[in-house]
Structure 1
Amino acid sequence: MALTKVLLVVCLAIGTISGFSIPDQMQNTLVSAIRSRARTWVAQEYNQREKFGVMSLGLRPNDSVANAVPLLENQRSVRSLPVNFDSRQKWPYCPSLNQIRDQGCCGSCYAVSTAAAITDRYCIHSGGQKQFTFGATDYLACCTDCLKCDGGYVAKTWQYWVDSGFTSEGPYKSGQGCKSYPFGSYCVNDPYPTCSRQCQAGYPLTYSQDVKYGASAYRVMWNENAIMTEIYQNGPVVVQFEVFDDFYQYRSGVYRHVTGTTQGWHAVRVIGWGVENGVKYWLIANSWGARWGDNGFFKYVRGENHLGIEDFVYAGLPKY
């Protein structure tokens, strides 16, 4: 595959608005179609599910973005990779691996998933001695080459961590961290954050004391074994794939697209892999909150580059 094109990830989000939702009949029809065709996964209907922030696919040829982070070509080999692997089991001292983030009413998956993977890796590479919840808020407010809540580049988000650093973050309106995530799930017209090199009132550290940087950011080779090796050695990675209507209805099993129209591209963090009923899968943490899917996680068919999921894989290493 020639890496001359990089996707502008026009992220997808799931949220609810009081009194408004996808009509039940539309959801019933979609779920019925899935159940008649899907052989490896189970669909369900979600109450008050509403699709928003879903734009047209943003595929833009751009060599400079493709080269925003280097390709990791000299990867250390692993003699034998396990059939099943879960980062949560290998690194149980890193609680962030169990956490599911909620990007709320903002197409910020590229930033939220990257911040989550960075949080995991910061803990993993310190042997659990250092815990820090990296956040997307400061990046979303200050990035000059993203579309904020309308999508952005995963590669440039990782490189921003190296160049400018990420600050700590607390959940929506929690008052925790240098900055709290500004967008909730109920679409109540939350104001967009302004770019400010200051932490919120009451936080004990200054911005410069809180911000932490990456030592490196890179792309992983676009093959199954290289991706597995990277996760096994260094922790979760961020991938992106094309999303169709049926994905919204996922409940359990190994997802494979079976029906519906394209809705855009989505970035997520892969924490492991396995085999279920003879079907190979990636184990993935979504950023739509714990009410979606299997408590926020999902399994996705592995080794087929299904809907482009193995084309662009991003990672990095922390600086202490």
Structure 2
Amino acid sequence: MFQKSIKKNELIMLLLFLLVLSAHADLPVHCVRHQIVGKWQLQFTEPQIKGSGPLTCGHNVPDNERTSQFAGQNTFQQAFTHEVVLTAKNNVVLKKKLQGKWTMVYDEGFEVDFMHYKCFAFSKYKTNYSGAYSYCGETLVGWYQNTKTNERGCYRAQKIEKTHKVSEGANNGHVVQPQFFQYQNTGMNKVWSRIDALNFVEQINRAQLQWKAKAYGEIIGLTTKQLNKYAGRKKHSSTILLEKQKKKQQILEYDLNHLPKEFSWEKYLGKKIYEQKGCGSCYTISTMTMLSARLKIKGLKADLSPQQSIDCNYYNQGCDGGYPFLVEKYLTELDGLIYEEKEYPYKGQVGECKAIEKKKKYRVLNYRFVGGAYGKSNELNIMEEIYNNGPVVLNFEPSFDFMFYVGGIFHSTTPDWIINGLAKPEWEKVDHSVLCYGWGEENGVKYWLLQNSWGKQWGENGRFRMKRGQDESSIESMAEAADVEIIEDS
């Protein structure tokens, strides 16, 4: 039943929730795996630094889309090159020999790990008055590390073979609706009234799904276009090029008999559930909460600081979004200077990067996409990673009805690739990062246990459950993890 009055803190929480539902504002570039596969020349500068410490290669701290496209171009001095072939199976071939692995980092760039070099750069893009354009056969200036000598420098890459130029001009958007919901006059400029909200929630709850909805007052007076924007739909394009999907029988029923039917690391999460406030920081909150839980599992009580990555990480865009994989990558370069929440508290806005003396030092290592590369995660390997090592970060695309969630097992739409029996796509759009700390089953419905970053007032005391095993809202498309340990306690 709609409440005419809502508690003040709930109103504030929901308003902030609507403002920051989009997490991955990221860079205006879109390149996918089949455009990257092929022969590349990797170009390296002389080493710029040895050991830990910041190396920006001309990028701002934090990075931003306005300047990233120009970063380091005028000062880049090539010292040596390597020619490699990046294969469709994520292998790196050098002189006809298998020499390593590579992975996409969502659609933003790619990391190449071969011999004793680990290289990452964003794919090249340009912006002008008409929009943004991606050049998937080149990269911006990025970074490399010599893992043998621990020397680091700047790097860029150029494809030797021709590739497409992809326009990234935004289209007019679209209305995302759950399968059961059919509403008249749902154009992008439709203004939502109190009656609309009540009717929408009534249809959700009448459908007898495994979850319940609530009519929050803040949507009244907003258009569908505004609500879609709040739900993170920033990267739609009429010119996104995806590899043609083939008809293929999907393996969606994995043998899970070696794993328990229910499992949870909840007791290692601690009591704190962050509120993002006016900052698109879910990517770093979920990552640092994951690493903190993994420390607690080892018997080390610590809550690591999300604010440090917001202020100091030159791979991500601060409060304008970012990626857990690049938070983990940044942390591996700090040689223990990873701060706890009590040392570097969360502010919900970008501040000055600080250096604070520490007693305890933590090391992050082995950052990774679950499954070995972007797009390789699935129900089975996510469960195995959680069971063997601790919580992980999952990413998903919030559907329109998700903002109404108040409890139960969330399910909105089954992905088209599953409905149509197609191969799993090489790229799935996601906008929000959350912590996954276990799984369960209720009345025959499998679910993930997830923790959000919108405060305890939202959902099931700040947490929620989502249908498992059907890639609901692309929740199983991009899972990330890293290991963490204490290296000094003086």
2:466 matches 1:300: yes
**Higher-Rg member (1/2):** 2
Secondary structure of the 1:273 match is: strand
Q: Is the 8 A contact 1:87 1:97 kept in 2?
A: no
Q: Is the 8 A contact 2:332 2:365 kept in 1?
A: yes
Deviation per CA, 1:160-204, whole angstroms, max 9, x where unpaired? 2222253111xxxxxxx1121102xxxxxxx53111213xxxxxx
Aligned to 1:201: none
- Of 100, 114, 121, 2:287 maps to 114
Aligned to 2:347: 182
Q: Is the 8 A contact 1:122 1:131 kept in 2?
A: yes
> Aligned partner of 1:252: which letter?
G
User: When the two structures are superposed, what TM-score results if normalisation uses the length of structure 2?
Assistant: 0.48
Count of residue correspondences: 259
**How big is the shift at 1:318?**
0.9
> Aligned partner of 1:179: which letter?
Y
User: When the two structures are superposed, what TM-score results if normalisation uses the length of structure 1?
Assistant: 0.72
1:80–1:54 Cα change, 3 Å: closer
> Aligned partner of 1:214: which letter?
V
* Aligned ranges 1:126-165 → 2 under 5 Å: 126=298, 128=299, 130-164=300-334, 165=337
- Distance, in Å, in 1 between the alignment partners of 2:205 and 2:302 is 42
Q: Is the 8 A contact 1:166 1:211 kept in 2?
A: yes
- Distance, in Å, in 1 between the alignment partners of 2:290 and 2:219 is 27
Unaligned runs of 5+ in 2: 1-31, 34-102, 109-191, 221-226, 241-254, 372-376, 415-428
- Of 168, 179, 183, 2:340 maps to 168
* Aligned ranges 1:210-221 → 2 under 5 Å: 212-221=362-371
* Aligned ranges 1:31-42 → 2 under 5 Å: 31-37=201-207, 39-42=209-212
1:39–1:264 Cα change, 3 Å: same
- Distance, in Å, in 1 between the alignment partners of 2:483 and 2:433 is 19
Deviation per CA, 1:59-106, whole angstroms, max 9, x where unpaired? 899xxxxxxxxxxxxxxx997211111112xxx4x3x34542221211
**How big is the shift at 1:314?**
0.6
Higher relative contact order (CA 8 A, sep 6+): 1
- Distance, in Å, in 1 between the alignment partners of 2:205 and 2:257 is 40
2:443 matches 1:277: yes
Q: Is the 8 A contact 1:78 1:229 kept in 2?
A: no
Q: Is the 8 A contact 1:117 1:238 kept in 2?
A: yes
1:107–1:97 Cα change, 3 Å: same
Aligned to 1:72: none
Secondary structure of the 2:279 match is: coil
Q: Is the 8 A contact 1:218 1:314 kept in 2?
A: yes
- Distance, in Å, in 2 between the alignment partners of 1:106 and 1:78 is 38
- Distance, in Å, in 2 between the alignment partners of 1:38 and 1:145 is 44
**How big is the shift at 1:40?**
1.5
**How big is the shift at 1:153?**
1.3
**How big is the shift at 1:236?**
0.5
Aligned to 1:57: 234
1:283–1:137 Cα change, 3 Å: same
Deviation per CA, 1:213-244, whole angstroms, max 9, x where unpaired? 21321111212111111111111100100012
* Aligned ranges 1:80-91 → 2 under 5 Å: 80-88=258-266
1:79–1:307 Cα change, 3 Å: closer
**How big is the shift at 1:25?**
4.4
1:53–1:32 Cα change, 3 Å: closer
Q: Is the 8 A contact 1:178 1:210 kept in 2?
A: no
Aligned to 1:223: 378
Q: Is the 8 A contact 1:53 1:105 kept in 2?
A: no
- Distance, in Å, in 2 between the alignment partners of 1:297 and 1:7 is 28
> Aligned partner of 1:196: which letter?
K
Deviation per CA, 1:255-288, whole angstroms, max 9, x where unpaired? 01159xxx96110010110111111100111111
